[in-house]
Amino acid sequence: LLSLRMFGLRVDLGLLLEPLGFIKVLEWIFSIFAFATCGGFQGETTLLVSCKGVVNKTVTAVFAYPFRLNTVMFSAPDPKRCGGTWTDFYLVGNFSSSAQFFVTLAVLVFLYCIAALVVYIGYMHVYQRNSKLPLTDLAITVIIAFLWLVSTSAWAKALTDIKITTGASIIQEVESCKAPGTTCVFASVTSMGTLNVSVVFGLLNMVLWGGNIWFVYKDTNLHNQTNKTQSS
């Protein structure tokens, strides 16, 4: 009932209900959430500045993926730059390497899952007959599981630093706020809940790919040789 023919090719959708295919679908979906929650983020951190001729003026620094915060600055509160005491302040840190590593991996995994699903549902007979394909799939699965561990760990650490850099402690770093007659109050920073979710999806992807190693391994000749040895 779950088999059909497309362009002369027999497509077996029933394989999507088996562990190998079902887990691959989950990996495909979770990779989408991973790069969407991280790569689509944009936020801002805001200060209230009072200085010569200015009272509680809002100054904002807007930051977004890939989080090169050292290129983001708070502009002057007024055209006179607080009577000449205000200098532009840039945020601290460049977290683009960790963020881009995480998002790039998620995109590549997304594309690989599509290719793997095409093979599973359309060319499973070729996959099972050619011993090199399952072994290649196994090697890629192990590598991706490891890369999810590394990229998620790096991104989680970078996210922690981003929260510190854009949080209330930023007041201590702005030299202009220390000028006589100038006061700065931290107002707000955009919630980073979606970035927290991206870390969670990174961990879920790591668990999925790690667990999938066993199901891919079962289709390799390594597993078949082990079974034959045990039978003998």
Lowest mean pLDDT among 11-15, 135-139, 155-159, 196-200: 11-15
Number of folded domains that form the chain: 1
- The answer to whether residue 8 is domain-embedded is no
- The answer to whether residue 147 is domain-embedded is yes
CB count, 10 Å around CB of 48? 16
d(CA 36, CA 94): 20
- The answer to whether residue 124 is domain-embedded is yes
Phi/psi region, residue 81 (left: phi>0; alpha: psi -120 to 50; beta: rest), is left
Which structure tokens are listed for 14? 């029933």
- The answer to whether residue 4 is domain-embedded is no
The closest alpha carbon to 51, from 186, 153, 183, 163, belongs to 183
What is the domain range of residue 187?
14-231
Average pLDDT over residues 70-80: 90
Residues 27-46 pLDDT 10s:
999 999 999 999 999 999 99
Q: Report whether 127 contacts 115 (CB < 8 A).
A: no
Q: Report whether 211 contacts 148 (CB < 8 A).
A: no
- The answer to whether residue 211 is domain-embedded is yes
> Strands, E, within the chain: which ranges?
3-6, 9-12, 42-51, 54-64, 73-74, 89-90, 183-189
Residues 125-166 pLDDT 10s:
887 788 888 899 999 999 999 999 999 999 999 999 999 999
- The answer to whether residue 7 is domain-embedded is no
- The answer to whether residue 222 is domain-embedded is yes
- The answer to whether residue 2 is domain-embedded is no
pTM of the prediction?
0.86
d(CA 175, CA 54): 17
Specify burial of residue 27 (Cβ count, 10 A radius: 0-12, 13-18, 19+). Answer: buried
